[in-house]
Amino acid sequence: MNLTDADKRKLDGGEGPAVQHAMEHLLKMGEAFDAEEMVDLHTVHVFSDYRTVGDGGVNFYENLVDLGGHISLPSSCEPMSMDRNHNDQFDWPEGYEEGQQKIVDALATLGVQPTFSCTHYLNANVPKFQSNMAWVEGNATGFANTVIGARGNREDAVTSPLAGIARRIPKYGMLDPKNRTGDCLVEIDPNLIERIGGDGRRTADYEALGAVIGDFAYDRIPVVTGLPDYMQNEELKALVTACSPAMTTTLMLLVGISPEARTLEEAFGGKVPKDVDTIQVTEDDLREMYGQLEQTTKEDVDIVISGCPFKTLQEVQELTEQLGEQKVADGVKFYIFTDRITFNMAKDMGLVERIEAAGALLTTDTCSWCMPVETMFGPDKVIASDSMKMRRLLAGDGKPTWRYGTLTDVVDAAVTGKFKPSRWN
């Protein structure tokens, strides 16, 4: 790699052992990816949940602290493994709280801002156009790449904090402008656009659409045409959720929306290839995806989950309106996930009180992925959700089975204890 004099000084220990340790790792990483150089890093987002990083992650973070590591860049961290405001609502395994607290303490010492959020890009750690990122979260990196035009790959639990400490990162993947052009084409049927989204439906519809696009693109960058001229942040957030777990890349080029895709030609780097792989997405495709996300036809549900990615304040308001004066059915758990910034605003607006009065729980700082779900929810349980991301991440042998539907569907399931899909059937 072509290192600058400043890079060499960091690598030689001129800025302390933590920076030296970070640069040694980043140099090996850059060589593995055939990166020609490093670039300045502008923003970092790291893991914070004990379930994901475990005791090895605790030791890693504490070692960075012992080396004198510090992150002075704009920073944020993923949800943790606990909602410490509602410890009595969950059955944590022995040792979980202690392990989680060690991570919280280490990140605080490293200077990481305690956002505990997967949607920090909307309210806490917001990059600019062409900012270089080292973020671990797929939906966040996807939103920043796609909607803002920032640059970054979905980094891992090790690389992200090390890049934050070194303030440098190898120029590879989505950090290199020459790699940010389309590989395939997705054309959305106008008839689908006329029906998609709307109150009580936008999250499930756009997450399902993202899954269709992501499954087609997989490890390629899709160029998407035919989307509405204006899309709300909540709709875009739902769509780019496909960047994890449907895709392995972290960039969608949405023509007329993405800064690097003002035109179809620009999205492909100047000219649309004649033989570009193309798919037309219709109502039938969305209907089929809804069906694929269903694992069972059982109507009785035990758990209802909404808020992956975390809900915005507008979405919390929408859910509260959907609930109205209804009550959650006996024997059903209804979990709604958001970050602490949104939670505090919702509390000031009286929304938290209304949600809790209905028998639901608006959690903060955590989500069902970060919780030890294997021990909390057994394989005999049925979960209803409007989150494609959560359904794909948490389904599998020995785990609960899932129903997928709109927000309206899952709120109705929470109130009646029965899931009855109403969309695209």
Helices (H), 188-293: 190-195, 202-217, 233-239, 264-267, 283-292
Each residue's pLDDT tens digit, 208-226: 999 999 999 999 999 999 9
- Residue 232 has what pLDDT? 97
Sign of CA dihedral 30, 33, 39, 40: negative
Query: How confident is the prediction for the chain on average, in pLDDT?
Result: 96
Q: How far lies 224's CA from each of 48, 89, 185, 265, 327, in Å?
A: 33, 42, 6, 12, 41
Which position has the token pair 């504490």?
62
DSSP 8-class letter at 312: P
DSSP 8-class letter at 230: S
CATH number, span 294-416: 3.30.499.10
Indicate the CATH number of 5-178 among 1.10.3470, 2.40.40, 3.30.70, 3.30.499.
3.30.499
β-strand 38-40 against 168-170: which pairing, if any? antiparallel
pLDDT over 80 at 372, yes or no: no
Length of the chain as a residue count: 425
pLDDT over 90 at 357, yes or no: yes
Range 144-177 burial, b when 16+ CB lie within 10 A, else e: bbbbbbbbbbbbebbbbbbbbbbbbbbbbbbbbe
**Residue scoring higher pLDDT (369 or 176):** 176
What's the rounded mean pLDDT across residues 313-327? 97
- Residue 103 has what pLDDT? 97
| Residue 221: alpha-carbon gap to chain centroid | 18
- Residue 377 has what pLDDT? 83
pLDDT over 70 at 345, yes or no: yes
Each residue's pLDDT tens digit, 185-198: 999 999 999 999 99
pLDDT over 70 at 425, yes or no: no
DSSP 8-class letter at 186: E
Range 365-402 burial, b when 16+ CB lie within 10 A, else e: bbbbbbbbbeebbeeebbbbbbbbbbbbbbeeeebbbb
Nearest alpha-carbon partner for 419 in 290, 234, 283, 284? 290
Q: At a CB cut-off of 8 Å and minimum separation 6, what does 226 contact?
A: 187, 188, 189, 190, 193
Rounded to 10 degrees, the C-alpha dihedral 412/415/419/421 comes to: -10
pTM of the model: 0.97
pLDDT over 70 at 20, yes or no: yes
Rounded Cα–Cα distance for residues 202 and 208 (Å): 10
| Residue 26: alpha-carbon gap to chain centroid | 24
- Residue 374 has what pLDDT? 67
Range 61-94 burial, b when 16+ CB lie within 10 A, else e: bbebbebebbbebbbbbbbbbbbeeeeeebebee
Helix 17-32, helix 159-166: angle, nearest 10: 120
What's the rounded mean pLDDT across residues 352-371? 95
pLDDT over 90 at 89, yes or no: no
What's the rounded mean pLDDT across residues 306-333? 97
Residue 84's pLDDT band (boundaries 50, 70, 90)?
confident
Nearest alpha-carbon partner for 282 in 209, 220, 182, 203? 209
pLDDT over 90 at 93, yes or no: no
- Residue 388 has what pLDDT? 97
Each residue's pLDDT tens digit, 249-299: 999 999 999 999 999 999 999 999 999 999 999 999 999 999 999 999 999
pLDDT over 90 at 398, yes or no: no
What's the rounded mean pLDDT across residues 381-403? 92
Residue 396's pLDDT band (boundaries 50, 70, 90)?
confident
Rounded Cα–Cα distance for residues 169 and 184 (Å): 28
What's the rounded mean pLDDT across residues 289-310? 96
**Burial tier of 405 (Cβ tally within 10 Å: 0-12, 13-18, 19+):** buried
- Percentage of the chain modeled with pLDDT above 70: 100
